[in-house]
């Protein structure tokens, strides 16, 4: 069985439901709140397991109830948590997210233990046994991402970076990224033009492919565009579904994408499967 390794974040999400997202200085009235397993890393690792591929994760939690909750949900989601560290004296990562009546949301994260992932764990031979795809995001330090990507390159694994949230990438890290995945806003922040259509996403992917081998630009309800280093670009329209919640849709996309790549699929069929997984997630399926 192929193996996908995720190195990334774990967050105890506090979800608040409200009619609308508050503006600056506004106190909005919510209808209810509930805890939710989260963090881009954790969500993506679970999505890999859901896709039927062996999923391992390197991450860190605090010695607290949040950490216990996060570990339990990783295991429940089918993820191997043997390489999750418990950091003393540091709280687990958490976030507060507000979701409006249309399913859109905004969130604030506190990284906590996610910034204390040990690079030493990334050199463990057992960790890498059978791994052919590595998933990274920007909710952990670039030093951690760089160490993981170096190990992946040394061992012949494909590195997928979901460059969210956006931040500048170092010259040392950029050449180690085999597949870059960004949304419309992140693509623009990385130097591409505005993405207001599928053609705009394709243009942005082509522009970013001058810097990275393969690029995927997601454009929400419009769909996505993917560009290979040879300049071949494909546009994939979004499946239209009734929105229950868009929260975590991007992570569902990344998890399925990595799973299909690990199974030997090409970029286009992997993107199509990932787009379907994201649509099902948005529809609450």
How many other C-beta atoms are found inside a 10 Å radius of the C-beta of residue 99? 19
Q: What angle do CA 262, 146, 68 make, to 5 degrees?
A: 75
If one counts the domains in the chain, the total is 1
Q: What is the pLDDT of residue 245?
A: 67
Q: What is the pLDDT of residue 55?
A: 98
How many other C-beta atoms are found inside a 10 Å radius of the C-beta of residue 4? 32
Q: How far apart are CA 59 and CA 81, in angstroms?
A: 9
Q: Is residue 206 part of a domain?
A: no
Q: How far apart are CA 212 and CA 210, in angstroms?
A: 6
Domain of 170 in residue numbering reads as 3-7+41-89+120-177+239-282
Q: What is the pLDDT of residue 260?
A: 97
Sequence-distant (6+) residues with CB within 8 A of 231 are 206, 209
Sequence-distant (6+) residues with CB within 8 A of 214 are 178, 179, 180, 226, 227, 228, 229, 267
Enumerate residue ranges in the chain where pLDDT < 70: 230, 244-247, 285
Cis bond before residue 131 (omega within 30° of 0): no
Q: Residues 71, 165, 169, 188: what is their CA dihedral angle, to the nearest 10 degrees?
A: 150
Q: Is residue 52 part of a domain?
A: yes
79 backbone dihedrals φ, ψ, rounded to 5°: -100, 135
Q: How far apart are CA 22 and CA 14, in angstroms?
A: 16
**E strand or H helix at 258, and its extent?**
helix 249-262
Q: How far apart are CA 244 and CA 87, in angstroms?
A: 35
Q: What is the pLDDT of residue 230?
A: 67
How many other C-beta atoms are found inside a 10 Å radius of the C-beta of residue 121? 18
57 backbone dihedrals φ, ψ, rounded to 5°: -140, 140
Q: What is the pLDDT of residue 283?
A: 77
Q: Is residue 156 part of a domain?
A: yes
Structure tokens given for 78:
């089918």
Q: Which residue's structure tokens are 């590595």?
A: 134
Q: Is residue 67 part of a domain?
A: yes
- Strands of the 93-99 sheet, one edge to the other: 30-38, 11-18, 93-99, 105-110
Query: Domain holding 68: CATH number?
Result: 3.40.1190.20
Q: How far apart are CA 128 and CA 262, in angstroms?
A: 14
Sequence-distant (6+) residues with CB within 8 A of 1 are 53, 54, 130
Q: Is residue 68 part of a domain?
A: yes
Question: What predicted TM-score, i.e. pTM, was given to this entire model?
Answer: 0.92
Q: Is residue 66 part of a domain?
A: yes
How many other C-beta atoms are found inside a 10 Å radius of the C-beta of residue 35? 13
Convert the pLDDT of each residue in 172-225 to its tens digit.
999 999 999 999 999 999 999 889 999 999 999 999 999 999 999 999 889 999
Q: What is the pLDDT of residue 221?
A: 82
């Amino acid at each position: 069985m192929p193996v996908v390794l995720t190195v990334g974040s774990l967050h105890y999400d506090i979800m608040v439901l409200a009619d609308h997202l508050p503006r600056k200085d506004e106190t909005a009235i919510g209808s209810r709140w509930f805890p939710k397993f989260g963090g881009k890393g954790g969500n993506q690792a679970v999505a890999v397991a859901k896709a039927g591929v062996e999923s391992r994760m390197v991450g860190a939690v605090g010695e607290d109830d949040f950490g216990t909750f996060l570990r339990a949900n990783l295991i429940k989601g089918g993820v191997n948590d043997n390489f999750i560290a418990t950091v003393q004296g540091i709280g687990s990562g958490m976030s507060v997210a507000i979701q409006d009546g249309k399913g859109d949301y905004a969130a604030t994260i506190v990284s906590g233990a996610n910034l204390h992932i040990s690079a030493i764990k990334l050199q463990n031979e057992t960790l890498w046994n059978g791994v052919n795809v590595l998933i990274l995001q920007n909710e952990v330090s670039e030093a951690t991402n760089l160490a993981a990507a170096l190990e992946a390159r040394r061992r012949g694994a494909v590195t997928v970076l979901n460059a969210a949230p956006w931040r500048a990438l170092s010259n040392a890290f950029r050449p180690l990224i085999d597949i870059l995945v960004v949304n419309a806003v992140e693509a623009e922040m990385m130097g591409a033009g505005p993405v207001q259509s599928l053609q705009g996403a394709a243009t942005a992917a082509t522009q970013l492919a001058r810097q990275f081998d393969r690029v995927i630009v997601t454009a929400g309800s419009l769909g996505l565009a993917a560009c290979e280093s040879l300049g071949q670009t494909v546009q994939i329209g979004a499946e239209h579904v009734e929105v229950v919640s868009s929260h975590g849709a991007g992570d569902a996309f990344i998890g399925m994408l990595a799973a299909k790549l690990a199974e030997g699929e090409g970029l286009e069929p992997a993107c199509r499967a990932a787009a379907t997984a994201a649509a099902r997630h948005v529809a609450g399926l």
